[in-house]
């Protein structure tokens, strides 16, 4: 993550003398979220941030299903910080001037249709098979291209199959997986650990990647316990995962959309809300209840589309 020192967050926080303590704390949390986003974009100081960067950040936050009020506060936090940064001389022009939250209710998360996800996963399976047959015809055991397809298939299967946050997926190590019990142990927000079941498709995809793909991307310095690797042989990061989804999906899909899809599809299938809460690692049932609204909206849309009198 970007060092907060370059952004002088402590100094900015001390300047918030007119705000209540809770508001200042919320503003700091908003800026820390932004710094994580900036780090993924390779930005290291305030002067590198543009208005387009801020709009992309807020748009991504909206895709995660944040409440409209939360989005509005994040925009206000950014306006407060960059106005201060301009006066402090950290930026020449204020990129957040008159910045507002994205239009729309900012409430319901983006959900990928189950049929679309199945088509994408089936397509990756077919690509793997075709590429493998081509390699065998030429007497090869595989290459980096085939390894990346195997890795990407395992990443998508795991994100959607377990409803993981992208950070949870990137943090998975060899000791996290138990193929005997078909489970994965992940560390969520607040360092809360949970153990999730793996279905057959996820297990097969991970095993194929680890057995026939991992070595093609690994280097001499690659830690042996890291499961997912980028092309440089390093641990896969959130930005790498976004690139994978950009490559494999016909339209841009944020990794969090697969988590939303996991939850919504389970509820559509009749799974109890409290079980979905446990699988997602939500501390509050209210957080999980957003998916019941998604399902109701989808039900209403199906009704409006299908009923002759609707």
231 an active-site residue? no
259 is catalytic: yes
DSSP code at position 226: B
* Tokens 């360092």, located at residue: 191
Q: Is 199 one of the annotated active-site residues of the chain? A: no
DSSP character at residue 104: S
Q: Is 41 annotated as catalytic?
A: no
Structure-derived torsion over alpha carbons of residues 238, 243, 249, 251, reported in degrees to the nearest 10: 100
Dump pLDDT digits (tens) for 33-82: 999 999 888 898 999 999 999 998 998 888 777 777 888 899 999 999 99
Q: Which of 87, 97, 189, 274 is catalytic?
A: 189
Cβ atoms within 10 A of the Cβ of 256, count?
Answer: 19
Which pLDDT value is given to residue 140? 67
| pTM as predicted | 0.65
Q: Which two tokens stand for residue 90?
A: 């950290």
Sketch out the chain's domains with CATH numbers. 4-88 (1.10.150.130), 114-302 (1.10.443.10)
Decide: 120 and 248 in contact? Cβ < 8 Å: yes
- Could you list the pLDDT tens digit for every one of the 310 residues in the chain? 444 568 999 899 889 877 777 888 889 999 999 999 998 888 989 999 999 999 989 988 887 777 778 888 999 999 999 999 999 999 999 999 988 877 655 455 678 989 999 999 999 999 998 888 887 777 666 689 999 999 999 999 999 999 999 999 999 999 999 999 999 999 988 788 999 999 999 999 999 999 999 999 999 999 999 999 999 999 999 999 999 999 999 887 889 999 999 999 998 888 888 999 999 998 888 778 777 766 666 656 655 666 566 4
307 is catalytic: no
- Three-class DSSP category at 194: strand
Catalytic residue, candidates 150, 248, 259, 260: 259
Q: Is 143 strand, coil or helix? A: coil
Active-site residue identified among 79, 165, 248, 265: 165
As a whole number of angstroms, the longest Cα–Cα distance in the chain is 71
């Amino acid at each position: 993550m970007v060092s907060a020192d370059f952004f002088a967050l402590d100094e900015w926080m001390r300047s918030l003398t007119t705000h209540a303590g809770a508001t200042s704390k919320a503003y700091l949390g908003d800026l820390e979220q932004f710094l994580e986003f900036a780090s993924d974009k390779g930005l290291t100081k305030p002067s590198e941030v543009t208005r387009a960067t801020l709009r992309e950040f807020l748009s991504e936050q909206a895709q995660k299903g944040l409440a409209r009020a939360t989005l509005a506060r994040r925009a206000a936090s950014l306006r407060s910080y960059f106005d201060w940064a301009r006066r402090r001389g950290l930026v020449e022009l204020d990129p957040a001037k008159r910045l507002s939250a994205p239009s729309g209710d900012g409430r319901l998360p983006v959900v990928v249709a189950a049929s679309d996800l199945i088509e994408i996963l089936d397509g990756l399976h077919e690509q793997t098979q075709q590429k493998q047959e081509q390699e065998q015809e030429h007497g090869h055991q595989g290459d980096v291209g085939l390894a990346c397809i195997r890795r990407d298939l395992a990443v998508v299967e795991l994100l959607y199959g377990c409803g993981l946050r992208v950070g949870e997926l990137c943090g998975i190590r060899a000791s996290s997986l138990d193929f005997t019990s078909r489970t994965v142990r992940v560390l969520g927000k607040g360092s809360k650990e949970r153990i999730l079941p793996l279905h057959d498709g996820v297990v097969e995809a991970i095993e194929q990647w680890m057995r026939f793909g991992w070595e093609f991307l690994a280097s001499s310095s690659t830690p042996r316990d890291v499961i997912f690797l980028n092309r440089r042989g390093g641990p896969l990061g959130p930005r790498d995962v976004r690139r994978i989804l950009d490559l494999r999906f016909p339209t841009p899909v944020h990794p969090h959309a697969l988590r939303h899809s996991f939850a919504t599809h389970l509820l559509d299938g009749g799974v109890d809300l409290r079980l979905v809460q446990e699988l997602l690692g939500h501390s509050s049932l209210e957080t999980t209840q957003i998916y019941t609204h998604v399902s109701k909206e989808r039900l209403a849309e199906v009704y409006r589309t299908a009923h002759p009198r609707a």
